[in-house]
Amino acid sequence: MSEPLKIKTMADCMAAGETPEILFWVGCAGSFDDRAKKITKAIVRILNHVDMSFAVLGTEEGCTGDPAKRAGNEFLFQMQAFQNIQVLNGYEVKKIVTGCPHCFNTLKNEYPDLGGNYEVIHHTQLIQQLIDTGKLKVEGGAFKGKKITYHDACYLGRANDEYEAPRSVIEKLDVELAEMKRSRANGLCCGAGGAQMFKEAEEGDKEVNIERAEEALELSPNVVATACPFCNTMMTDGVKLKEQEENVKVYDVAELIANANDL
């Protein structure tokens, strides 16, 4: 953790005449939310560790429009998409890794029809590829033998059928991977999707994140693993409300890998 992070922007690369292999799309949460910034840095530490040539857009990145689209504001979504596609196509971006399943889904599925065609992967998929190709060696470190449960992000799981990458990465840590009752295709949402993150929930008996945190806590895990900054916030809040934050930590899969290997 001591080494300073090496991060270039696409503008830097262009000025130096370099073409990075992959663009790291940080996302709004990863850029501005204090908790999510740690996930962003964990991803960068992994990329630095394997010497991957990557760049970020920096201040040229803008919201993909996902929350606007899910909330019904198609105009705003398409305006955001149009602007982002102009920037991405301007840099001739071919491949993107995202730190957030919502950005991942939008860039991968909804941008092509608007003129933005890129190969888009989620950071858990990239980590899995790095491990599979031997570029990243993973050891359990502090997590060895610990019980970890993985909470499926809707926009990675059901929305894009990616259930295995995060799980196979976690298993590499030599841990006990415990499954919640509702997992994979049957996983329960954390409550943040569809722009719920930005508003109070409608009247009901319970908050969705409490329901989900209770389900996770039933397993008495050491760690609840997530793959989405919004799930991370919701699960962290849920665990706190159940006063279990001393015993149960909520980490992104990227943080697990970076922390276990002292990157």
Rule CB under 8 A: say whether 214 interacts with other proteins.
Answer: no
**Is residue 56 close enough to count as binding other proteins by CB under 8 A?**
yes
Cβ closest to other proteins, residue 159 vs residue 177: 159
Task: Show contacts with other proteins in window 228-257 (CB under 8 A).
Answer: none
Query: Vertex 23, ends 19 and 24: CA angle to 5°?
Result: 145
Interface with other proteins, residue 110, by CB under 8 A: yes
* Alpha-helical regions (H) of the chain: 10-16, 28-32, 34-49, 66-70, 74-90, 101-105, 123-132, 164-171, 208-217, 229-241, 253-260
Q: Is 15 in the site for other proteins (CB under 8 A)?
A: no
Q: Name the CA dihedral angle for 39, 42, 44, 46, rounded to a multiple of 10 degrees.
A: -140
Cα distance between residue 88 and residue 248, in whole Å: 39
Question: Which of 135, 137, 206, 240 touches other proteins (CB under 8 A)?
Answer: 206
Q: Rounded to the nearest whole angstrom, what is the least distance from the CB of residue 114 to other proteins in the complex?
A: 6
Q: Is 5 in the site for other proteins (CB under 8 A)?
A: yes
Q: How far is the CB of 58 from other proteins (least distance, A)?
A: 4
Residue in 180, 208, 224, 227 binding other proteins, rule: CB under 8 A: 208
134-153: contacts with other proteins (CB under 8 A): none
Minimum distance, C-beta of residue 174 to other proteins, in the bound complex (Å): 30
Pick from 13, 16, 102, 21: nearest CA to 58: 13
Q: Taking a C-beta distance cutoff of 8 angstroms, is the pair 143, 256 a contact?
A: yes
Q: Which is nearer to other proteins, 55 or 260 (CB)?
A: 55
219 lies in the binding site for other proteins (CB under 8 A):
no
* CA-wise closest residue to 222 among 146, 139, 140, 144: 146
Which one among 177, 178, 195, 241 touches other proteins, defined by CB under 8 A?
Answer: 195
Q: List the structure tokens of 175.
A: 């841990």
